[in-house]
Amino acid sequence: MPLSVDQWVPEEHLARFLWDIVESFDLSVFYDSYATEEAPPYDPQMMLAYPAVRLVHWHLFFS
Q: Where are the domains of the chain?
A: 10-62
- The whole-number pLDDT of residue 24 equals 94
Its pTM surpasses 0.75: no
DSSP 2-45: PPPHHHHS-TT-HHHHHHHHHHHS--HHHHHHGGG-SSPPPPHH
Nearest Cα to Cα of residue 23 among 60, 51, 42, 49: 49
Sign of CA dihedral 48, 50, 54, 57: positive
pLDDT in tens, 7-25: 888 888 888 888 899 999 9
- Residues 54-58: what's their mean pLDDT? 82
